[in-house]
Structure formats: C-alpha cells, structure tokens
Structure 1
Amino acid sequence: MFVSTPRTEASILHADLDSFYASVEQRDDSSLRGRPVIVGGGVVLAASYEAKAFGIRTPMNGRDALRLCPQAVVVHPRFSAYSDASKAVFEIFRDTTPLVEGISIDEAFLDVGGLRRIAGPAADIGQRLRERVRDEVGLPITVGIASTKFLAKVASAVAKPDGLLLVPPGGELKFLHPLPVERLCGVGAVTARKLHDHGIRTIGEMADVGETVLVSMLGGGAGRHLHDLSWARDPRPVHVGRRRRSIGSQRALGRRPKSAEDIDAIVVGIVERLGKRLRAAHRVSRTVVLRMRFDDFTRATRSHTLYESTARNDAILGVARRLVAGATPMIGERGLTLIGLSLTNLENDDAVQLALPFDADANGALDVTIDSLRDRFGTAAVTRAVLLGRDQGMVVPMLPD
C-alpha cells in the first residue's frame, strides 16, 4: 500500500462523476439528453439532474418519483455498461497520477502534489482531467481541489454538476464556514436536527460553539470529529492499494409481509454473493453483521464474531441464520423492509493459521469449485434449491475488493 505525503498546498482532487448511471444512459441514447431520466424501477438507483430538479432523489420509491415528475423516462439499469464506463474513467485517473484512491465506481481521490513541475498547477490538471473524461468517455465529471480530502470532497459537491472548484490554501475557513452543517461528513438527518435545535445551522456556527459543547450534544467521537472538520482539520493522506475493511450487501424488501422462508432465502442469496467476493479477493472474515430496517424506518444491527476467520459459505450462513433467528421477535413486531449482511475483521487468506481438517470440506473446496463453475458458465449454472424461482435482486457494480 502506498500513501501520499500530507501537503499544505491545494493538491488533492476529488473527482466525482455526475449522476453516473443516468449520465451513461443519456450518453448512449441521444433521445434521453436534456430529459428527466430515472434509472431503476421500484427504487430510484439514479436520477439525471433534470429529474433531480423535481425533487427526485435516491433511493426514493419509484412510484413517489413518478408522482413528482410524471414525464420522467424510466430506464432499466445496465450494470455492464456502468462497469465499462467506470474502468475507462479510472484509466484516465491513473494516467493522470499514480496516487489514486478509489472510493466507489464513480469517484476517487487523486494526489497531484508531485506533478507541478511536469503538469502544472492542480487546477490545470483537474481541468484537463475533466476534458479527457468528457472527450474519451463521454461523461460529465466534477472536480474539487483542496489541501485535504475532506475539503476536496466538499468542494466537488458544491461545484456540481459538471464543474471545477479550487479551495485556495489559506481560504479553507472562508469557503467552509458559510456552508450548512449538512455538508459535513457524518451529519445526517438526526444529527442535523440536534444541531438545528441548538441554533446551529452553518459550519461556522458549529466551529464557534467549541468542542466541549459538541461533545455534550453528540457524544465524544462524533463531537470531536465534527469539531475537527469544522476547522478544516483532516490529516488523512491519499491511500493507494488500501484494501476494504469490510464488504457487505443488502436487499430492500418493500412493505409487503415476508415469511420466514422468504427472509431465509434472501439471506442465503446474500451469503452466496459475499462468500464468492471473499474468495475471489483471497480474504477471510471473522465477524458477521446483520443490518435491518423496519416499517417505522428505524434500524438495528446484530453481530457475531467467529472463533476463527473463514470464507466458507456454510460457516457464514450459520452465523447469519442465528442472528436472524435472534431478531425474529423484533421483525414480527416492527415489520422488516430491508435486510443486509456485512463481513468485517477481514484478513488475507494467506495470513491465517490453518485449522486441522476435521471434516471433508474443511478448506472450502466445494465453494471454490462452485465459484469456478459460475465464473465459466454464468451465475445461474449452479443454484441452491432454496433460491430456485426467487428474484435475488440486482447486483450493482463496485470497485474490486
């Protein structure tokens, strides 16, 4: 893993493709350009800026979105096209600088601090990057430039769509303090309400109240974190090659009642996907986290840590089923609208001490064999009986694990 050197100059870029899925659809179908476009059906996966002007956001219910904008065009997602576009854009990122930290398939941090002599100032590099993405891939992209990752990301959000914004060294607080508190990473709806209740609406007002007050309002970790951000303090460098600390997948269920068998089948499908991702990345996990959302929009998590790390589907599924069983009374009372699993405490599979093979498939050979069959003949080549005839939802593209 490579790490960029922290800098005082404005040399960190946050490059973020604009309404990525919708922009790809408008690129590939000229009849969609300039029109409100919704990608997805039951749930809005992406919306063009023409659709966002009507208040459409992700992950809004599709029916609600069409009530806001009846003339919107709904298109089915084409994930292979989005993956291809992402790969092309990341090739441009890496051709710009070797210091690229991917955040998702449509955004990344780039450190260009060492390129001034050969490529010019960061603003020029950012503008050329935007032009290349537009000319070579056909997509709009916004670039924020600052001395820290946090400020660069805020700058790109302010500059959207299809813009470029440089926060000059020494001008960080002048740029940051007039912005609403919602611009800070970690300020969601609940935190924003708490701040508003105390008369704090701008980042500058948050900075003025001081760390002690924020800690008393929001707790130690969140209070200190937001106080640092309000004063533009973010020492994180750009990391290259840093591996994920967790992987996860979730499935929205809607408000229709789900039987225990339906929920179990969804959990099985999620474990199948996550287990394959683990093995493909040559990693193992020790902790399984169950995430749930209920009819009243509240959420709950449950977790269990295994005695030893694993990438075996049966071991992960056993833990997941026990977690779901323990939450069954809560699910029955409050209704389940979303279920997800995360695998954390990840390690490389070659760094784990091997256990004695007390059973015939202790090393997960069956899982590996099924993975290879699916890679060769398609994901439906081998399917668990419990999943036959069941919709397992969409598998969205993502950065490599």
Structure 2
Amino acid sequence: MRKLNFCVLLFVLVFLVSCRTDDIIVRQEVVEGISQPENTAIKGFYILNEGNMGSNKCTLDFFDYTKGNYYRNIYAEINPNVVKELGDVGNDIKIYGSKLYIIVNASNKIEVLDARTAKRIKSIPLQNCRYLTFKGDKAYASSYAGPIDINPNAPKGKVVEIDTTSLSIQRQATVGYQPEEMEIIGNQLFVANSGGYMDPNYDRTVSVIDLTTFEEIKKLDVAINLHRLKKDNYGDLYVSSRGNYYEVPSSLYLLDATTGLVKKNFHIAVSEMTIVNDKLYYYGNEFNYNTHTSQKTFGIIDVKTEQIISNKIFDQEYVNAIKTPYGITVNPITEDIYITDARNYVSMGFVYCFDKNGHFKWKTEGGNIPAHFAFLYK
C-alpha cells in the first residue's frame, strides 16, 4: 500500500511539474498580413512594452516589414529558460552593432540580446537604470543610483560605461539627480537630469561628461525636471522639461551644445520626440494636478530652421481615438509614422501606423504599455 501511495504521489508531482513547465513558456502570437510586404534596407522593428510597475509584464514585440506580420510577445518562447522573462518595466531599447540592449528599470538590469534572433546573451545588473546611448566600442547607461523612492535625500545619479565586447561595466561618473536621456556630441556626453525624486526641488541641469577622463566637467542650466534629450545635425540639443505638474508647464528647449546656452523655448509640451531627416516629430500628453486632466498635443519641428512647421502629424480622427499616446518613431526610409497608445495603462495597448502624410495605414494590439522602438536593418 505504501509502495502504491508513493507511486501515486510521484505521478502527481511529475504531472504538476510538466504542467508548470508548459505554463511558463508563453507562446508568441502572430498577426499576419497587417500591411503589404516592403523591401528596403530595414528588416523590421522591435517594440518594447513597458508593463505596469510591479506586474512583471515587460514584453518584446517585432514587426517584420518583409512579411507584413506583427509578432507579439516573442521573448519567452525564444528564451524559455529565463526565469520571469524580461522583468519589470522596460524603459529603453536600442540596437548597436549585432546586439539589442534593453533597459529593465524596476528589475535593475540591462538585458543584452542577439539583435537578429532575440536570444539572450547576458544580463548586466544596474540599479534603477534608465536610458542608453553609444559611441565606438562603448555603451553608456544612465542610472538613478538608488531605489525607486520619492525621497528628498536620494543620492545623485550616475552614468556607467559598458564595454560592448565583454559587456562589463568599465567606468562610472556621478551626474545630477535622477538622470534621464543622453546624447553624445564630439567627445562629450550630455545627460538630462530630472531630480524627479526631489519634488519640489527638481534638478534643472544637463550634465556634461568628458569621455576621455569620464568625469563631469560642467552643468548647463536649462529648466526643471528634464527628461528627453535629442541631438540634431547642427550642433544643437533638444531637451524637454516636464515642469512640476502644477503651475510650471512642460516645455521644449533648444540648447547650443558648444556654448551651453539655451537658444530657444518653444513653449510646447513634449512627452516624447524623434528626429528623422531634419524633422523633429513630437507628442505631448501633459498631466496637471490642479485640473486632474491631460492635454494631448502633436507636431513637427524643422530642426534646420528651428521652427514649428505643423501642429499635427496625422488625421484628426486619430487624435481623438488615441487615448494615451506613449511612444513615437519614424521610419527613416519611408517616413511612415508609428504611435503607440497605452490606453488606461492596464489593458493591452495599440500600435498605429500612418504614412508620411499622416494618413492611417494599420493598427494592431501590442502589449501592456507599448512604448519604445528599435529598427533592425538587414
């Protein structure tokens, strides 16, 4: 009888383990033929879905131009042995060389994948990491250098230098409080500091790091609560301020990288932007605590003339349809425009495609909070 009970118990355990193994490998979903196949230098693009903080729902999608197919949630099936898959809150994604780098903010790591297969190569630990940029054989990542915590005593942030061959951190430099996006011009690394944990005493500077010594050499005063930072082809930086969500509005500033002086305040709210073929495409989704409402704005800036040339980027009906714009990119070859909609941040979001004239082409469901794009060239 004991032998029989043992055999029954063993069978049940094996059955449960086999079921659990099946459960944790989430199969990808394929949406076929959402667009006509295209034959250009670009194979497709990855979309990183942030996922709500604490939900472990950061996922990776891929759109294949050559087939016109959208592949949803590809990471788990490609990497079945990675525990908890990508992790918690995907904050940035970049392709550099043959590798795909993914910042997973709340999981305190940078996941490095093969850009063509999305197979994991290595995970680099980095506390409260935020954004990436690259030069030569080095990757640079910004970090809040402390826990996720609204705290007036939070430490200053840092930028780390990562060797792209060994994938190990080589050097680090202290910058301002809660650093965000970065750009490199010449031999200098520019870092937008937010001070987001220091409310109401936000940081208002852009740190400048000399890449030879890897030390902060100066700070440029711009505006409070800086976030986005993009360079153009004319030695200028476009940097966004989130304001204080009350009486100080969000705005976009033009910064001369050589002199360090603010050349212009555009007086527009910018939540995210991308520069393609001398045009800066932006959207704003500015929240105000006084009214408890959000205001959506869209537009295009000619970075050569430094003028706003349009206050729309696609047809008006989609301005109303897209509830919570959350990500933007533009195909550098076709100039097709991609916008994501995070909706209520809990439901699955949407990915929209518009042609270069802003006319609707297609729409598909993405993951939870679709946000960040990376183009994969053939």
**TM-score of the superposition, structure 1-length normalised?**
0.26
Higher relative contact order, structure no. (Cα contacts within 8 Å, ≥ 6 residues apart): 1
Query: Greater strand share, 1 or 2?
Result: 2
Query: Greater helix share, 1 or 2?
Result: 1
**TM-score of the superposition, structure 2-length normalised?**
0.27
Q: Considering only CA atoms, is the larger Rg found in Structure 1 or Structure 2?
A: 1
